Amino acid sequence: MILENKTILVTGGSGSFGTKFTQVALRDYNPKAIRVFSNNEFEQYLMQQKLKDERIRYFIGDVRDKDRLCRAMKGVEIVVHAAALKEVPACEYNPFEAVKTNIIGTQNVIEAVIDCGVEKAINISTDKAVNPVNLYGATKMCAEKLFVQANAYSGQSGTKFACSRYGNVAGSRGSVIPLFLKQKDAGVLTITDERMTRFWISLEDGIRFVINCIEKMTGGEVFIPKIPSMKIIDLAKIIAPQAQIKITGIRPGEKLDEVLLTAEEIGHTKEYNDYYIIEPEFSFWGQNNLNGGKSLPEGFVYSSGVSKDQLDRGQIERILQTLEIEK
């Protein structure tokens, strides 16, 4: 297994993704050590109370500080880059800060990774990076481009960089499920548009996908999981069947459907049983040694609105019963 006996550093490591990644990796993949790198000492304190394992190391630091990153990465073999400013309105109101963290911070991570001789680094991306309509999405698109092209900086014998792109995590903080559960008591659930659809992936499934990407990556790929989608209005009616549904209108920067793969990207995308891989558009790139991938038909788009794997209300209800909801 790729993580076994490895020293791993996770940027943004005390957030939702980082905490769960650390938990799953320690429980199932036997790493030598995990270094949690984040700028939130209170979240690190909470994480220490939740995960009592001597293999975890806690580093206070910010991805804006390259020197601190370099110090934290000494002896690290795998880096998972999950640090980002993610709240769309906050990024719109504080654009310079979003750029400093999500773009310049990503550049700092890349340079520190190369300088410290890390074997593999993977960037956690988002559907918002696809045809971005807000600043957060634009910064995440830039982060993807930086990570893919970083392979040209590290050279064939150096660090391998790749990205993992998937959509909203069901049940995570800031997602619609905790919001609906909170609104349920008031008897009114707000939906921006009754046509809205979203892909469905649990936090643990997202983490296992990322670990699988680390295992398979050879440098330059953007990995996209094949996951089911759902109608938000179906989810609302299952969570609170007696509640009133209030349509509020699409918010600035919001899309009706999640798009994980565009028609413009399919010319250099390969399909596998459980995922897609977007390959770099550079003539010199030919490192991907995965077998079995097939080309996609012209005009194909991987969108939650047209996905063939749509969850019906019964399936959503069964999954909700086992879903871990973050408060």
Those residues with Cβ within 8 angstroms of residue 206's Cβ, 6 or more apart along the chain or in another chain: 17, 166, 169, 225
Q: How far apart are CA 205 and CA 28, in angstroms?
A: 13
Is 232:176 a contact under the CB 8 Å cutoff?
A: yes
Chain centroid, CA 65 distance in Å: 22
CB-hemisphere CA count at 13 Å for 183? 20
- Phi and psi at 49, nearest 5°, equal -70, -30
Chain centroid, CA 280 distance in Å: 19
**Quick one: which H or E segment has residue 276?**
strand 275-278
Q: Tokens 């680390």 correspond to what residue?
A: 214
Active-site residue, 128 included:
yes
List the structure tokens of 187: 């008897």
- Phi and psi at 290, nearest 5°, equal -75, 135
Q: Tokens 């050590």 correspond to what residue?
A: 33
Say whether 6 sits in a helix, a strand or coil. Answer: coil
Is 73:113 a contact under the CB 8 Å cutoff?
A: yes
Those residues with Cβ within 8 angstroms of residue 145's Cβ, 6 or more apart along the chain or in another chain: none
Is 166:319 a contact under the CB 8 Å cutoff?
A: no
Which residue is catalytic, options 6, 86, 120, 128?
A: 128
Taking every pair of Cα atoms in the chain, the longest distance, rounded to a whole number of angstroms, is 60
Is 51:23 a contact under the CB 8 Å cutoff?
A: yes
What residues act catalytically? 128
